[in-house]
Structures are given as structure tokens and as C-alpha cells.
């Protein structure tokens, strides 16, 4: 009689020891994963915060500029405000692609090794 139960390794994963976690944290592969994440996330975070603060500062101190009509009832403030949403979605999409291509394979390799699958 066949069963549909998952293999034993999937039912009860092996839990690494503290020493194994520390050793993995100090490994070159984990360092590369951390570098890949930081080199992508930190610059984009700083750029987005700067872009957001620019919008806030312009709104507070450059009312004349922000009120400049571009066409019809659409002014600079509206266009820049909508651009905030656009950049948020673009950054999320870009990060998702970066994570799928660069981060996830490295993280999965580390995880499988730590759980005893490698």
C-alpha cells in the first residue's frame, strides 16, 4: 500500500546547532549573500528616502514651483506625488527580480546545507 507521506527529512528537518549557525554566518558564501543584499537594498533605500524628502521639502518651501500648472489642472506637485507611487512600485518590482535571481538561490543553498539536505 503506497502512502502520500512526505519523506522523513521533510517531516522533521534537522535543526542546526549554535556552532553550525555561527560557522555558517562566518562563511564566505553567507558573506556574499549579505553583500548582494546590502549592495542592492542600501543604495536604493537611501535614494528613495532622499527622493521622498525632496518631495516633502519642495512641498513645504517651494509652493510656487509645486503649484506650477503643467496642463489643465495638473501641476508639478501632482506629477511628483504620483511619481512617488510609481517609484515605490518600480523599486518593489526591481527588488523582487533581484531577489529571485541573486538572493534566493544563494539562500536556498545555505538553507539546504544547514538542514542537512546537501
Q: What pLDDT sits at residue 114?
A: 83
- pLDDT higher than 70, residue 98: yes
Long-range pairs of 110-114 with CB within 8 A, sequence gap ≥ 24: 110/24, 110/29, 110/30, 110/33, 113/24, 114/16, 114/20, 114/21, 114/24
Q: What pLDDT sits at residue 118?
A: 46
pLDDT digit string (tens) for 72-89? 999 999 999 999 999 999
Look up cell 549579505; give the residue. 34
- Range 91-118 average pLDDT: 88
Q: What pLDDT sits at residue 2?
A: 54
Amino acid at each position: 500500500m503506497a502512502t502520500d507521506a512526505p519523506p522523513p527529512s521533510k517531516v522533521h528537518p534537522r535543526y542546526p546547532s549554535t556552532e553550525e549557525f555561527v560557522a555558517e554566518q562566518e562563511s564566505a558564501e553567507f558573506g556574499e549573500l549579505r553583500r548582494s543584499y546590502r549592495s542592492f537594498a542600501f543604495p536604493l533605500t537611501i535614494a528613495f528616502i532622499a527622493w521622498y524628502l525632496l518631495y516633502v521639502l519642495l512641498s513645504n518651501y517651494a509652493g510656487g514651483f509645486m503649484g506650477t500648472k503643467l496642463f489643465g489642472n495638473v501641476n508639478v506637485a501632482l506629477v511628483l506625488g504620483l511619481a512617488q507611487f510609481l517609484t515605490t512600485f518600480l523599486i518593489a518590482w526591481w527588488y523582487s527580480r533581484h531577489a529571485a535571481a541573486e538572493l534566493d538561490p544563494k539562500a536556498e543553498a545555505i538553507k539546504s546545507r544547514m538542514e542537512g539536505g546537501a
